[in-house]
């Protein structure tokens, strides 16, 4: 039976895991998919999510989803609770389908996408009569994603799921009267730039428009001139457009490619300079 398909042209599975590439785990999942849906296109988003870091996986998934073809099935496995009572789910929302553990991994991508349907994946419906207790990516999630991409409906995978697990949202709050927007460092990218929760920001002439990516504050317009970025214990940084706006070795705040406030160093590593870790407070302040 083929019903509840998010898009009749589904042909892409995008993979995101914390498996790394040293072992065969990613390749094995792709092999399982190839046996079930050999014509499906596979896109590797990343397999370098820090081991067991569900929040980091949720953020990287949020970064990737807007750039994928409509109808993409996202096979996402960051699963420190594998083998526990945590549920295996498939979720249809915003023209995409998400397959993975119900541990909050889909929190951020579902903030502005209405869930059309969510189901608990029944292992027997995807051919896993006796799934491994430690490799659901191979035995449950990969076959479920493959069947969806090949044309099965989400309701073919199992019964409806009640409320999904959600992570706490990162800090993003506007002080009354807007003296400042307070957020936090979300992650450090491979270049050593500090990515924060403040955004989504977009320059429009002399202003910057804030369209919050989490539902903890309202949209607003900010003056672009004179804005400063503050990390605890450090001098304020100017909000610039790009690294070349400052001299080599100088730090800056800037709006990154995802619209979030980031902190970097022209030709250097901000994480080393500031010794700031995820969770540290960041403030964007008007003059």
In a domain, 79, yes or no: yes
Q: Name the strand (E) or helix (H) holding 153.
A: none
**Rounded Cα distance, 62 and 105, in Å:** 10
Give the separation between CA 2 and CA 113, rounded to whole angstroms.
Answer: 23
Q: Are strands 12-17 and 73-77 parallel, antiparallel or unpaired?
A: parallel
User: Does residue 83 share a domain with residue 180?
Assistant: no
Asked if pLDDT for residue 37 goes beyond 80, the answer is: yes
Same domain, yes or no, for 24 and 146? yes
**Residues 257-272, mean pLDDT to the nearest whole number:** 94
- Is residue 111 included in any domain, yes or no? yes
The last residue of one of the domains, among 125, 156, 187, is 156
Q: What is the mean pLDDT of residues 209-226?
A: 90
Shared domain check, 124 and 249:
no
Residues of the chain above pLDDT 90, percent: 78
Whether the pLDDT of residue 1 is over 60: the answer is no
The answer to whether residue 3 scores a pLDDT higher than 50 is no
Judge whether residue 45 has pLDDT over 90: yes
Looking at the structure of the chain, the number of domains it has is 2
Give the C-alpha separation, 58 to 265, whole Å. Answer: 26
Per-residue pLDDT, 228: 92
Report cis status (omega within 30 of 0) of the bond before 200. yes
Angle at 24 between CA 22 and CA 29, to 5 degrees: 130
Report the relative pairing of strands 201-204 and 88-93 from DSSP bridges: unpaired
1-5, 31-35, 144-148, 192-196: segment of lowest average pLDDT:
1-5
- Quote the domain boundaries for residue 127: 12-156
Q: Is the pLDDT of residue 6 over 60?
A: no
Tell me: do 43 and 145 sit in the same domain: yes
The candidate with the shortest Cα–Cα distance to 88, out of 144, 151, 147, is 144
Cβ–Cβ under 8 Å, residues 213 and 200: yes
Q: Where is the domain boundary, 121, 156, 191?
A: 156
Nearest to 147 by CA among 36, 15, 269, 23: 36
Is residue 72's pLDDT more than 50?
yes
pLDDT at position 10 over 60: no
Q: What is the pLDDT of residues 157-171, one digit of tens each?
A: 999 998 999 999 999
Same domain, 62 and 176: no
Tell me how many degrees the CA angle 25-27-33 measures, rounded to the nearest 5: 105
Q: Is the pLDDT of residue 14 over 90?
A: yes
In this prediction, residue 42 has a pLDDT band, given cuts at 50, 70 and 90, of very high
CA distances from 127 to 1, 121, 122, 146, 232 (A): 16, 11, 9, 12, 53
């Amino acid at each position: 039976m083929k019903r509840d398909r998010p898009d009749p042209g589904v042909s892409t599975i995008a993979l995101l895991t914390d498996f790394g590439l040293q072992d065969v785990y990613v390749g094995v999942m792709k092999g399982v998919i190839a046996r079930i849906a050999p014509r499906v296109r596979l896109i590797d988003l990343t397999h370098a999510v820090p081991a067991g870091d569900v929040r980091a996986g949720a953020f990287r998934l949020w970064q990737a989803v807007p750039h994928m073809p409509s109808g993409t099935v996202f096979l996402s496995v960051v699963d420190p609770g594998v083998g526990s009572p945590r549920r295996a789910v498939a979720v249809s929302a915003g023209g995409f389908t998400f397959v993975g553990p119900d541990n909050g991994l889909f929190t951020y991508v579902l903030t502005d996408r209405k869930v059309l349907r969510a189901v608990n994946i029944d292992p027997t419906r995807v051919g896993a009569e006796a799934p491994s207790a430690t490799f659901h990516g191979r035995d449950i999630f990969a076959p479920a994603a493959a069947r969806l991409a090949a044309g099965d409906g989400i309701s073919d995978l199992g019964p409806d799921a009640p409320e999904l697990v959600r992570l706490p949202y990162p800090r993003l709050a506007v002080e009354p009267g807007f003296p400042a927007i307070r957020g936090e460092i979300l992650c450090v990218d491979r270049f050593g730039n500090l990515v924060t929760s403040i955004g989504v920001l977009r320059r429009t002439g002399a202003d910057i428009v804030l369209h919050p990516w989490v539902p903890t504050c309202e949209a607003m317009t900010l003056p672009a001139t004179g804005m400063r970025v503050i990390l605890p214990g450090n001098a304020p940084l100017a909000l610039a457009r790009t690294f070349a706006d400052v001299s080599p070795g100088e730090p800056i705040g800037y709006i990154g490619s995802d619209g979030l406030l980031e902190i970097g160093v022209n030709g250097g590593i901000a994480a080393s300079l500031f010794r700031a870790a995820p969770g540290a407070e960041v403030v964007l302040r008007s003059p």
